[in-house]
Amino acid sequence: MAGIPVPKPDFVLGGDLTQAISKISNTLIMLVGAVALLFMLFGGFMMITSGGKPESVQKGKNAILYAVLGLIIVILSYVIINFVITSLTK
């Protein structure tokens, strides 16, 4: 077994683990950003088409609020991931 070279895994898209984690996190942030934008548009649509019903207006406001809060959480997690990666690679 000593003569058989074992290839290193070429993780997801890059040559090493930190690049793979960075690319995965960037892709997930783009996806979450797109989903949050859709929820904001949906919340605005709910508010516009509420017809004066306070329940529908509140549902629209909540959809927008939760989308913004989700974006904030995702951005903070991205900052934490990048901080950990840069501190581990130095």
pLDDT in tens, 73-86: 988 988 888 888 78
Give the residue carrying structure tokens 């549902």.
59
pLDDT tens per residue across span 19-70: 787 788 888 888 998 999 999 999 999 999 998 899 999 999 999 999 999 9
CA dihedral (80, 82, 88, 90) positive or negative: negative
Q: What pTM does this model have?
A: 0.70
Rounded CA-CA distance 9/81 in Å is 22
63 close to 42: Cβ distance less than 8 angstroms:
yes
Rounded CA-CA distance 41/68 in Å is 12
Both tokens assigned to 28: 């997930």
